[in-house]
Amino acid sequence: AGERIVKGALIGCGFFAENQMRAWQELEGVSIVALCDRDPRRLAHFQALFGIEDTFTDAETMFAALTGSGNRGLDFVDIATTTQAHAALVPLAARHGVDIICQKPFAGSLAMARRLIVQCAENGVSLSIHENFRWQRAVRQTIEVLRAGRIGRPFFGRISYRSGFDVYKAQPYLARVERFIIEDLGIHVLDIARALFGEVERLSCETARVNPGINGEDVATLMLHHDDGVTAVVDCSYATRLADDPFPQSLIEIDGDNGSLRLRQDFELEIHGAEGGCDRRDVRPEPPAWSEAPWWPIQESVLAFQADWLKARRHGRAVETHGEDNFNTLALVEAAYRAAAAHQSVVPARWS
Ligand code: NAD
Ligand code: 89Y
């Protein structure tokens, strides 16, 4: 009882940040006290939508105003810009002594990620990456059933994300980037692979561009060999035409030495036992009132991630996807592009 309200500022009032703001407003004990976007129209839009008075078009000015001497008005910053801004904003926030949440894909390169992680540590601030897919209810339940040992030791996995959803409409920059599906979406699926099977010893990858109107790859198929011996296939596509498009669901198959798991489309988790029985669980999302189809699994996971971040802060622990942890997910993305270019399996870098 009587716990102090944790105060945050949002930088980047774009398409996805709306979900983050809705989630902050739903959570108790946290308040977003200021907004920043270099685009005054986006700022005005968010100011009106969320009723927040304090707005800034420049992050430096915002930190100076909120964290100056005698003004301990800010505990954390939620960086929801696209990646290019991370290199300047993360050190700026770290120097002002506030904890940092930052959207994926973090930093833009492994070298930059390493530099930013070190700077946060040197300034004594926590760095959490907003990696939410492992917080989707269906994915989370799959992770928990596996971790509880229900199917014994896993030896094979497949995480499949195949859709033809028009992601370019709300996120037009995705059509322009040279690196598309692995860096934008595969990063989440690779993070799920790490959450399920641990670190990756080596991987191979093939990519394709099916949509002629974009610059990057919209199809990627990866094979991962994990430290613990699991072989996993991660396959992603935004070029797959399906009448019952599953966007944005990840479908999961895991075979273990004592059973198998199948996360089917439309949120059914099957737990197959060694003796032949099958336990079926309804793992559909329990989406927040503000969520909209087809985004509800993601929107629910934004709320779940932010709720866990808040809980972690209160208990003085790190979130699962803290900076060093996410470095290893980013390393899989980098390795995937290297493997695709070389048509060879490669060894991903790892945080040390
Ligand atoms: P967007 O372009 O709609 O929004 C970004 C906003 O940041 C813009 O309003 C821009 O003006 C502002 N901005 C950029 N640099 C700035 C700076 N230096 N200072 C202040 N404001 C600045 O982008 P988006 O589609 O909302 O995506 C943002 C990030 O969220 C991306 O990295 C994307 O990959 C990620 N994303 C994550 C998920 C998820 O499920 N985790 C889903 C969608 C997008
Ligand atoms: O940007 C992507 C993400 O992180 O989740 C889905 C998405 O919005 C489009 O691929």
What's the pLDDT tens digit per position in 167-213?
999 999 999 999 999 999 999 999 999 999 999 999 999 999 999 99
Q: Are 254 and 143 in contact (CB under 8 A)?
A: no
Write the single-letter amino acid at 6.
V
**Confidence tier at 71 by pLDDT (50, 70, 90):** low
Per-residue pLDDT tens over the stretch 219-237: 999 999 999 999 999 999 9
Domain boundaries defined on the chain: 6-130+305-321, 135-284+328-342
Q: Determine the pLDDT at residue 3.
A: 77
Q: Does the beta carbon of 183 lie inside 6 Å of ligand 2?
A: no
pLDDT greater than 60 at residue 142: yes
Calculate how far, in angstroms, residue 169's C-alpha sits from the geometric centre of ligand 2: 12
Give the nearest ligand 1 atom to 82 CA: 32
Q: Does the beta carbon of 185 lie inside 6 Å of ligand 2?
A: yes
Q: What is the CATH architecture assignment of 135-284+328-342?
A: 2-Layer Sandwich (3.30)
Using the structure block, give the residue that is written with the tokens 């945050």. 8
Q: In DSSP terms, which residues pair with 207 in a beta bridge?
A: 220
Residue of 10, 11, 13, 15 with the most ligand 1 atoms within 8 Å of its CB, for mutation: 15
Calculate how far, in angstroms, residue 248's C-alpha sits from the geometric centre of ligand 2: 8
CA distance 74 to 335: 37
What count of other Cβ atoms lies within 10 Å of the Cβ of residue 234? 26
The β-bridge relationship of strands 251-256 and 259-264 is antiparallel
Nearest listed ligand to the Cα of residue 299: 1
Calculate how far, in angstroms, residue 185's C-alpha sits from the geometric centre of ligand 2: 6
pLDDT greater than 80 at residue 57: yes
Nearest listed ligand to the Cα of residue 168: 2
Which CA distances in Å does 192 have to 18, 20, 329?
Answer: 24, 21, 9
| DSSP tag of 125 | -
Across 66-86, b (16+ Cβ under 10 Å) vs e yields bbeeeeeebbbbbbbbbbebb
Residue of 18, 82, 184 with the most ligand 2 atoms within 8 Å of its CB, for mutation: 184
CATH code for the structural domain at 6-130+305-321: 3.40.50.720
Element (H, E) at 192: helix 187-197
The residue-averaged pLDDT of 83-89 equals: 98
Nearest listed ligand to the Cα of residue 86: 1
Q: Is 15 helix (H, G, I), strand (E, B) or coil?
A: coil
CA distance 257 to 212: 43
The residue-averaged pLDDT of 6-33 equals: 98
Q: Does the beta carbon of 298 lie inside 6 Å of ligand 1?
A: yes
Query: The whole model's pTM is what?
Result: 0.98
Give the nearest ligand 1 atom to 83 CA: 32
Calculate how far, in angstroms, residue 245's C-alpha sits from the geometric centre of ligand 1: 25
Give the nearest ligand 2 atom to 181 CA: 10
Q: Determine the pLDDT at residue 68.
A: 75
Calculate how far, in angstroms, residue 247's C-alpha sits from the geometric centre of ligand 2: 10
Average pLDDT score over the chain: 97
Nearest listed ligand to the Cα of residue 175: 2
| CA neighbor of 190 nearest in space, from 348, 17, 15 | 348
Q: Does the beta carbon of 163 lie inside 6 Å of ligand 1?
A: no
CA distance 45 to 218: 32
CA distance 128 to 126: 7
Calculate how far, in angstroms, residue 289's C-alpha sits from the geometric centre of ligand 2: 21
Q: Is 157 helix (H, G, I), strand (E, B) or coil?
A: strand
CA distance 215 to 174: 9
